[in-house]
Amino acid sequence: MQYTRGPKAPSLGLGPPTNLGFPTPLLGGGIPAPPLYGGGGLARPRPSRGRPSSPKKHGSTEVRPLGIGSPRDKVVQKALSLALSLVFDPTFLTNSHGFRPNRGCHSALNQVRMQFANCHWVIESDIRKCFDVIDHQVMLNIIARRISCPITLALIESALKAGYVENMGNKAIANGIGTPQGSVLSPLLCNIYLHEMDVFVMNWVGGPQPILGAGGPSYVFPIINKFNLIKLIYNGKNIGRANNFTRGKERRINPEDKRLSILKGKLPIGTPEWRVVRTQMRSVPSKMMMDNLSPRMYYVRYADNFVVGLQGTHKEAQMFLTSLTQWLEAELKLTLHPEKTFIRHFASKGITYLGVRIGPKSINDRPVRLYSTGAKRRTTPRLPMTLDVVGLFKRMKDRGFVRFRTSDKRHVGIRYSRMQNQDINDIIRYFNAVFRGYWNYYSFVDNSSALNHV
């Protein structure tokens, strides 16, 4: 962190002067900004030292470039992050779970379990190199809607453009685009940036409106016409139409189920014919599963990884994905990863999200439960979530914990050479910590007992 002497900052009329003679600017909503001055000058972040890369998940050749700032830069970024989170975090939608307090992978998976059980199609996707391609000008325009302090905006811009040093300090490269992964401020900036996408999706759904910014609205306004189509308006421009996924209070009754119910009522109870009709009713949904008069759409995002569940047709899923792709490229300068974007039939295939296998769930899978009173009732099970044991062993193999033995076709533990010089108690403590991490993360899955084989 470098501090340079300069002329006294002009009074912005936003607060009383500090003991250094500088004003205390206010963020949007009257939140005091973090101290931006120290040693009599404006804080200027230095380029990060080197640019190490972290490999991505198994099977990928891509790497994740990291930017680790100096300790003084981290202090300023943390103070700025705390202040910005007070302004922006209350405006984030409940569909966003990444990098937020009291939220995480478990809360995202719980929302999927509660909402996606009856979805026919699921769109799973990932934004390609999200942190690396964030447009600085678009980011500053989004922040400027709620923060009018030019000093704060200048500090955020300088942090984005700080860059990194290569060739042992002989070459400094400024960041023209993107925010460095590893920065204290980057996760919050990513959420602020992708909040625009959250609002776009929820307005496509016809969901609740977000809080307006001080600089005026810039998100999508849904206008429902008599044809049950939503007219999408973004920044005063008509950007297309979409189906209204909130029309209809509930699904209509299945005519086949209604016919069987009437026939069952006319037959004497307990007769062979009555039992045959009862068996047929158990295999027929009581409501129309493909009711085009009451479609539904659900959306969950963790960082740059998101899923969208639809109770509708495959054509509607394709139309939404096309519209989202075009909007991201036009407004946020982002693209979806072509190798990680799929439209899957949820009832027959299921998906893998955040390391957990979700679904498939059959509509005919309704087991009989025996209650304490002795009564038997047919229940509707929850959306199944299971541990992908093979995938877990592959990740452990990449970390050097196990190897695949071809003689009996199973994964077995191997010597962890990087800890061979450690004390035996430290080795045991380390492996116990690794196992507790896996167990705590997968403790809620339906086949958690499979962790006993790890």
Three-state helix/strand/coil letters over 263-301: HHHHCCCCCHHHHHHHHHHHCCCCECCCCCCCCEEEEEE
H helices of 207-271, in order, are 255-266
Range of lowest pLDDT (3-7, 65-69, 252-256, 398-402): 3-7
The β-bridge relationship of strands 48-49 and 164-166 is parallel
**Percent of the chain whose predicted confidence (pLDDT) is above 90:** 14
1, amino acid identity:
M
Name the residue with higher pLDDT: 250 or 53.
Answer: 250
pLDDT, tens only, 234-281: 444 444 444 556 656 666 777 888 888 888 888 888 888 888 888 888
Mean pLDDT check: name the lowest of 51-55, 208-212, 414-418: 208-212
* Percentage of residues of the chain with pLDDT beyond 70: 69
Q: Give bridge partners of residue 172 from the DSSP assignment.
A: 165
pLDDT mean over 408-414: 81
User: What pLDDT is recorded for position 77?
Assistant: 84
Distances (CA, A) of 141 to 12, 138, 154, 196, 237: 20, 5, 12, 12, 17
**Rg, C-alpha atoms of the chain:** 27
What integer is the mean pLDDT of 418-438? 87
**Residue among 59, 35, 50, 47 at smallest CA distance from 2:** 47
Residue 105 has pLDDT above 70, yes or no: yes
Q: What is the pLDDT of residues 347-389, one digit of tens each?
A: 888 889 998 999 887 655 667 777 778 777 777 778 889 888 8
Per the structure block, which two tokens stand in for 324?
């989202």
Residue 381 to residue 365: CA distance in whole angstroms: 8
pLDDT of 152 > 90? The answer is no
Q: Kindly state the average pLDDT of the residues 327-351.
A: 89
Residues 305-322 pLDDT 10s: 999 998 888 888 888 898
- Pick the closest to residue 70 from 164, 177, 190, 198 (CA basis): 164
Q: 180-225: per-residue pLDDT in tens?
A: 777 888 899 999 999 999 988 887 776 444 333 334 434 444 444 4
Q: What is the pLDDT of residues 161-182, one digit of tens each?
A: 776 656 555 555 556 677 877 7
* Residue 208 pLDDT: 40
